[in-house]
Amino acid sequence: MKRLYGLIGILVLFLGFAFVHGRQQDHAQQQAVPTVGILQLLSHPALDAIHKGIIHGLAEEGYHVGKNVKIDFQNAQNDQSNLKTMSARFVNENAAAMIGIATPSAQALANASSKIPVVLGAITDPKGAKLVKDNQRPGNNVTGVSDQAPLAAQLDLMRKIMPDLKTVGIIYTSSDDSATAQYHQFVTICKKARITLKAYSIANTNDLNQVAQQMVNEVQAIYVPTDNTVASAMQTLVATANAKKVPVFPAVDTMVKAGGLATLSINQYRLGVETGKMTAAILKGKNPATTPIHFERTGEMTVNLTAAKKLGITLPASVLKEAQAHGEVFK
Ligand code: TRP
């Protein structure tokens, strides 16, 4: 009898230990699920596509939302004070990594922490925006993916579609670092190509209609850089331009889908995928300081046939063929 009690006693002890041990393991697993904070500046089709791509890229590298990674997604609705509070929130919840979609988001995150890795989600000019010391050797807790568009090739495409092109207007938001960086590059590119470039800057979407009205009377074609404000109001610009039969050539595919005529575009979704993959590598221990910025150099031919029809433009056969074979055709 004594022996039986003894055995029961040992069994109870053992079960108790197993229970406590199991709970400890659960706890460890809970803590081991890293939080990734994603801060998106505002909603427009390009940034939304990048966000989707990020989730896909994380999954491709083994991080599945709700399973072994927690995503805290915040949309700042283009508001500076939101950017600040949302960045502080990620730091408070001890995020394992933070991703900034668009330059102001990345800047807010980098200001909020010099320790937590910050991954740039499609930032045009990381060095110019003072996010990294050097694109090859970022040096601090910040690295990521750049969406720098192939501007010279895009101007070449405009001239191919409009052989008589002499005067181009560029529209951009003066406070948008991404757009102004491209504006400065475009000035040099147009000079070299002996194209007259007229600049039209806006402060916000309220200006867009009036500035567009003036612009369409003064230029043969409109170029739109990766400008977050214009990207969120493409319809306004396109309606005004189409009414005057002035083609709009945007920097990216999502803006062609929104009514622009054509471009050689970096695929926005794929930028997100690359950002997600880089974030996964950092979660696995890669050091941002020594991880070079990833650039996607080659663009895909992207055309909008409805826009061409509205403008009365016949796209060169080679352009259309290339878009059908390797790019995107929107109807
Ligand atoms: N590059 C922009 C920035 O740094 C963000 C961006 C990515 C974007 N893709 C875009 C803006 C397309 C306008 C259109 O802020």
pLDDT, one tens digit per residue, over 276-288 is: 999 999 999 999 9
DSSP letter for 216, please. Answer: T
With 50 as the cut, is the pLDDT of residue 26 above it? Answer: no
Ligand 1 atom closest to Cα of residue 252: 12
pLDDT at 8: 53
From the options 3.40.710.10, 3.40.50.2300, 3.30.9.90, 1.10.10.10, give the CATH code of 31-148+268-295: 3.40.50.2300
Reading phi first (left if > 0) and then psi (alpha if -120 to 50, else beta), residue 27 is in: alpha
Q: Whose CA is nearest to atom 3 of ligand 1?
A: 102
**pLDDT, mean over the chain:** 93
Q: How would CATH label the architecture of 151-265+299-330?
A: 3-Layer(aba) Sandwich (3.40)
Q: Do 97 and 106 meet the contact criterion of CB atoms below 8 Å apart?
A: no
Integer angstrom CA distances of residue 265 from 36, 153, 216, 299, 319: 28, 10, 24, 4, 13
Report the separation in Å between the CA atom of 156 and the middle of ligand 1, taken as the mean of its atom positions: 21
Residues of the chain with CATH 3.40.50.2300: 31-148+268-295, 151-265+299-330
Q: Tell me the residue length of the chain.
A: 331
154: Cβ contacts below 8 Å, ≥ 6 apart: 223, 249, 251, 263, 264, 299
Q: Whose CA is nearest to atom 2 of ligand 1?
A: 102
Kindly state the tokens that stand for 114: 């010099």
Q: Note the pLDDT tens digit of each residue in 60-93.
A: 999 999 999 999 999 999 999 999 999 999 999 9
pLDDT at 30: 44
The confidence band for 14, taking pLDDT boundaries of 50, 70 and 90, is low
| 298 phi/psi in degrees, rounded to 5 | -100, 135
pLDDT at 298: 84
Q: Whose CA is nearest to atom 4 of ligand 1?
A: 123
Q: Which residues approach ligand 1 with their CB closer than 6 A? A: 46, 102-103, 122-124, 147, 178, 226-228, 231, 252, 268
With 80 as the cut, is the pLDDT of residue 29 above it? Answer: no
Q: Which of 128, 127, 81, 83 is nearest to 101 (CA)?
A: 83
Instruction: Give, for ligand 1, the residue of 42, 228, 295 to mutate: max count of ligand atoms closer than 8 Å to Cβ.
Output: 228
Instruction: Give, for ligand 1, the residue of 50, 226, 256, 271 to mutate: max count of ligand atoms closer than 8 Å to Cβ.
Output: 226
With 60 as the cut, is the pLDDT of residue 21 above it? Answer: no
- Calculate mean pLDDT across residues 153-170: 98
